Amino acid sequence: MAKWDKPGTGGGLGSPPGYQPPMLEWQPQDLPDSPIYATASALPAVRAESNRYYGVWGRSLPGKTPGGGLSDGVRGESGGTGVHGISNSLTEAGVWGENRGFSAGAKMAPGSGGGVGVKATSAQGYGLWASGKTAGHFEGDVELNGNLNIISPGDVILNDCAERFDVDDSRTEPGTVMVIDQDGSLRPSDHAYDKKVAGVVSGAGNFRPGIILGEQQSESPAMLIALLGKVFCKVDAQYSRIEVGDLLTTSPTSGHAMKAEDPSKAFGAVLGKALRPLDGGRGLIPILVALQ
């Protein structure tokens, strides 16, 4: 293979007037997987542009045996960023990864990397880092093999154990106390000491369900109902001042809990315990859901 060592005649887009780019060398290689090698002391060693199609097309042809001889179509390695993709489009991706493998639709072993559109790994830091107004968007199931740690101040806290129930109105706000209706669906509570109390609509404040029990498909509107654990709940203290540790039950105020002052009526109608006081009026306080 010929060796090209003629310096270029211009710096290209963005270069100062009269700038001469460094010498480029194309060198024959002994290794069969590197027939072309380009080096440069500054600016890109290889630059490719296209107005209609791919700027760079990289392809690796595997052997006939699935899984044998597979290698990278394009590989980037650097002391800085290995691959840097930029898109000026409002709809297209800066970097696009797609898998069209022979095993499409097959169940791959966890961690095998099979059937993966994009795979990111790191020896010490983050395998994948994303930032933005919406840092990530997923369409489909998400599998997590490890811990989910939320570390930013004022974050969502995973607390309660919830289950999805059919509800009369899907517009019911998080924190609403729910009771069982005659048809088995749930509706907001509306009278005191209701033994049909079922739980609290999960998701109020910065609390989110930590565990979601088996979800079933339903044609009716459905919501996640906290059955156990900490959740923010609507309470009404006009009937009695609420203190930390007070037992709570349903109140005449729609969707609100109140202090359970009558033990004879409370059995079977207790929603849980207050974790924060409320001197008067209505409010949203954390409670410990413990139906009894």
In tens digits, the chain (292 residues) has pLDDT values of 334 444 444 444 444 555 454 444 444 445 455 566 677 776 777 777 777 777 777 777 665 444 444 567 777 777 777 777 777 777 777 777 777 665 434 444 444 545 666 777 777 777 787 877 777 777 777 777 766 666 554 566 778 888 999 898 878 999 999 999 998 899 999 999 999 999 999 989 888 888 888 666 667 788 999 999 999 999 999 999 999 999 999 999 999 999 999 999 999 999 999 999 999 999 999 999 999 8
Tell me if 226 sits within 8 A of 209, measured CB to CB.
yes
Spatial distance between the Cα atoms of 231 and 141, rounded to a whole number of angstroms? 25
Tell me if 21 sits within 8 A of 7, measured CB to CB.
yes
Which structural domains are found in the chain, ordered by start?
A: 157-290 (2.40.300.10)
* Torsion, Cα of 182, 186, 187, 189 (10° steps): 90
Spatial distance between the Cα atoms of 71 and 216, rounded to a whole number of angstroms? 42
pTM: 0.54
- The pLDDT assigned to 114 comes to 55
